[in-house]
Amino acid sequence: MFLQPAVDTFVTLQAGLKPNSIKSDFYFDMEYCVEFSTFQTLRTQTSENKLECCADVTPTESTESILEDKSFSKELLVLDLYSGCGGMSTGLNLGAKISGVDVVTKWAIDQNLAACESLKLNHPQTQVRNDSAGDFLQLLKEWGKLCKRYVRNNGHTTDTLNPENSTKEATESSSSTEDDSEPEEYEVEKLVDICYGDPDKTGERGLKFKVHWKGYSSNEDTWEPAKELSNCQDAIREFVTSGFKKNILPLPGGVGVICGGPPCQGISGYNRFRDVDSPLTDERNQQIVVFMDIVEYLKPKFVLMENVVDILRLDKGSLGRYALSRLVDMRYQARLGIITAGCYGLSQFRSRVFMWGADPNMKLPPFPLPTHDVIVRYGFPLEFERNVVAYSEGQPRDVETALVLKDAISDLPHVSNNETRERMSYESLPETDFQRYIRSTKHEEQAYEDESHQEI
C-alpha cells in the first residue's frame, strides 16, 4: 500500500534535500460519502459523475456479492439488545434467509419480564436474559475472565482441580452431619445460572451465581455472591466449562450480528421535557453509549442499530452523529439510512433511522429499495434528507400500491362495547396479501417469503 509523502519528492530534490520517505503507493477502492453518511465503491472523480457516485447509496449491489467474501460465514449468531418480543432479530432472520444467510438469534436481553417470556416462548433456542444492558455488559466482562481462568483453548478444562478447596468442602459437609447441635450447613450441588447486579434487591450489586442446594428442590435455588463461593471451585469450574461449550453468553469475536434499538424516551419529540441542549448527558439517552460499549467489547462482524428519526433532529443530530462516529472510530464500515415502514408493505408511514456497521473484512450490506408506494405524512430533517432510502431520480421503479388501514384490518370481526371474549374467530377469508401474511404460521410465513422472493 502506498501513502503519498507529505512533501513532494521532486520539490525535495530541487531544494537539495535528501528525501527521507520510503517510496510506496496507497490503493483503495472504497470512499466515505459525507452527504449520504455511507461508505461506497469508489468512482472516477469527475464533475460529471460526482453526483452519481453519491447517489449510489441507494442499494444496487446484490446480496450475492456480500456472500462472495470467503471470510463470510453462512451462519451468523445474533445478540438482540433491548429485544422486546424479538421483532427486530426475527425480521433480520426472515430477510437473511431470502438472501441465503442463516441468522440465528442466540442471545437476547430486555428489562421487561413479559417481553422476555414471550420471546422465549416463540424462540426456545434463544438464551433470553431479563436484565439491563449495563449489567449485561459487566456480566460479559466477568464471564470472559471466568472462561480465561477455567477453560483452555478448544474448550478443554484446566489441568487439575484444587484439592485444598475440595477437601474443605468435604470437611464442612461431614462436620455438619456429625454434630447436629451446630447450625445446619448447606452443600452446593451445582450452579445453574449467572448474573451481574442485584436480582434479590438486597442492595448488594456484583457477580452472582444461582445455587442449587443438595437435598433441596429447584424452588429453593438462591442467588449467591461469587465472592462467597470461593470454596466451591469445582462447582464453578463445572458451570463455566459447561456454559462455554453451550455458548450461554457471547465472547469477544464470537458474535455475528448485534442488533437493537436503544430506548428513545429521552429523544422522542413527544417528550416535552427532553434535554434539547445536551441530550447525551441525559441519563435516559445513555443506552446509546451502552449499546456502542457492548459493540466495542464483543467486536461483532455486523452491527444494526435502530432509533427514532428525532435522533437526527435533536441538538442538530448530535446523538445520531455520536453513534455513527463510534462505529467509524471502532473501524467499522458505516452506513446511515432513514427507512419508512409504509414503503415495505405496512399501512403506516412510521419512519426510523437505521445504522449498519460492518467489519472491514465484510461487505457492508445495502439498504433494501422500497417495494410499495407510500402516503407521505411528514418530512425529514433537512440536513439528512439524502439519507432517506429511496429510488434515485430517473431510476426505474416497479412498486405496489400504498397500503391503508383498511388493507390491514378489514377482515377483523366486529367488536361491540360489551364484548367479553378474549379470543375471536375470523368471520371471513383474508382479503389482502397483508392479511394472508399476518395470519400465516411460522412455516407458512417462510414459504410465503420464499414464494415472494421467487416472484421478484
DSSP class of residue 301? S
Query: CA-CA distance, 152 to 401, in Å (whole number)?
Result: 58
Q: Are 236 and 209 in contact (CB under 8 A)?
A: yes
Distance CA 380, CA 395 (A): 21
The Cα 261–Cα 305 span in angstroms is 6
Catalytic residue check, 264 = yes
- Cβ neighbours of residue 428 closer than 8 Å, sequence gap 6 or more: 411
Judging by beta carbons within 10 Å of its beta carbon (0-12, 13-18, 19+), is residue 91 exposed, middle or buried? exposed
Residues 53, 195, 232, 264: which is the catalytic one?
264
The helix or strand, by DSSP H or E, that contains position 97, with its residue range, turns out to be: helix 87-98
- β pairing state of 75-81 and 302-308: unpaired
Rounded CA separation 375/343 (Å): 9
Quick one: 105 exposed, middle or buried, by C-beta within 10 A (0-12, 13-18, 19+)?
buried
Q: What is the DSSP letter of 317?
A: G
**What is the amino acid identity at position 105?**
T
For residue 177, CA distances in Å to 174, 183, 258 come to 5, 11, 51
Q: What sign results for the dihedral spanned by CA atoms 315, 317, 321, 323?
A: positive
DSSP-derived 3-state class of residue 16:
coil
The answer for residues whose C-beta is within 8 angstroms of residue 96's C-beta and 6 or more apart is 76, 102, 103
DSSP structure class, residue 183:
P
**Sole residue written with cell 451465581:** 209
Answer yes or no: are the C-beta atoms of 76 and 102 closer than 8 Å: yes
| DSSP notation for 17-32 | PPP-S-------SEEE
The cell for 291 is: 449499546
Q: What is the distance in angstroms between the CA of the first residue and the CA of the last residue of the chain?
A: 41
* Backbone φ, ψ for residue 380 (5° rounding): -125, 160
Mind telling me the catalytic residues? 264
